[in-house]
Chains A and B, each alone.
Chain A
Amino acid sequence: MMVGQLPFEKFSALLSNRGLRINVGPFNIQINTKLATLVGHLYDHYENYQLVEGEIAEFHVQIVSARPVRKPFSPHVRFLIDGQSPYFSLFPAEQALAVLEWGINLAIAVRVNHLLILHSAVVERNGHVVLFPAWPGSGKTTLCAALVHRGYRLFSDEFGLMEPQRRTFFPIPRLMPLKNESIGVIRDYLPEAILGHEIPNTQKGTVVHVRPPKESIIRSEETAKAKWIVFPKWVAGASLSLEPLPDSEAFLLLASNSFNYEVLGETGFQAVTHLIRTCSCYKLVYSNFDDVIGALNDLTD
């Protein structure tokens, strides 16, 4: 059963009592909150996720109301995982959705060590995935949002989750947080994309979440192997450049983009070595979506 098939009252009751359990790729996540506005946003954004019953949840997260000492009348929230707060700060209540999404990201990045976790957008085309490893600010979420509305299947705008023995990637299609200028860019380029409300004044500026395409969520159990690794960089006004990257440089960039490469030890080394040996690696500079999507279509045809 999908979240959207639940009546709103039942959905709200689940969130505020025993918790809403949804499946997101390889994980089940249990969410609790009594915050009415967040309940409404989640009902809109999570409608295509599968409800989970009778299975364990890997992550138990909560958004709870809190009152800062210095601003006791200003509604704030706190993110909890397993009842503990990994953040010292409280956040304004209107940022609850962004805090929840970032909190889940943090939990995945810190707690998952049976998979190699790359800081990378991942999309699939013609049965294989393209990795876009990049640090924040390089435009990987924006590029990912554009690609998944032009025929690519969303795995993630944030995490490359690789099973090190089978060498396959798990989809984990979640909301894609656009920031600042990229919000207008995507609104103009993808009028069909479903965007959420604007969340101003976050630590990363204004944030708007893009809903993953329904098909990507429905097919989130279909894993795939990687065939291309593209290190992207958006540069205003730049003409398109997609240049092959030497293996040694690609290895260094990929390993340093991983959240848990050192934790995994030799397993991580073997996994990254396999990726570099089996994938074609490129450095991408772009400014225009039509150009970059054309080049990536040629690459993945």
Chain B
Amino acid sequence: MFQPDSGKTHFLNQMGLQVILNLNEKPATEDEICRVLAQQFKRSLDQNFSLQIKKTLNRFDALGLIEKVRMDSSA
């Protein structure tokens, strides 16, 4: 995947790519992303799986591939 802002190319595995594709369709919370991915890849939604996905999301955020935003509780 090419990121125009940094000019860098990122090599993603299938699950990493699916994270980007899902978020490209619509924004989601971390828990929603974990739930959808567990369904898509037929994995159990345990703590270990969620932790790995959240680590990946943090990494993608640091690379500028996705943007983490705070949920506005009044909205």
Q: Report the separation of the CA atoms of residues A261 and B8 in the bound assembly, to the nearest whole angstrom.
A: 10
Supply 14 A–B pairs (Cβ within 8 Å), ascending by A.
A248-B11, A251-B11, A252-B11, A255-B9, A261-B9, A262-B7, A262-B8, A265-B4, A265-B7, A266-B2, A266-B4, A266-B7, A269-B2, A269-B9
* CB-based nearest A residue for B2: A269
A164 to chain B, nearest CB (A): 14
Q: Which of A253-291 contact B (CB under 8 A)?
A: 255, 261-262, 265-266, 269
Across the A-B interface, the 6 shortest Cβ-Cβ residue pairs: A269-B2, A265-B7, A269-B9, A266-B2, A266-B4, A252-B11
Q: Report the separation of the CA atoms of residues A279 and B24 in the bound assembly, to the nearest whole angstrom.
A: 29
B53 to chain A, nearest CB (A): 21
* CB-based nearest B residue for A249: B11
Interfacial chain A residues near B9, Cβ < 8 Å: 255, 261, 269
Q: Which of B1-42 contact A (CB under 8 A)?
A: 2, 4, 7-9, 11
* CB-based nearest B residue for A255: B9
* CB-based nearest B residue for A264: B7
Q: Report the separation of the CA atoms of residues A255 and B11 in the bound assembly, to the nearest whole angstrom.
A: 11
Interfacial chain B residues near A261, Cβ < 8 Å: 9
* CB-based nearest B residue for A273: B2
* CB-based nearest B residue for A262: B7
Interfacial chain A residues near B7, Cβ < 8 Å: 262, 265-266
Given A261-B9, A266-B4, A269-B9; 11 other pairs, CB 8 A cutoff: A248-B11, A251-B11, A252-B11, A255-B9, A262-B7, A262-B8, A265-B4, A265-B7, A266-B2, A266-B7, A269-B2
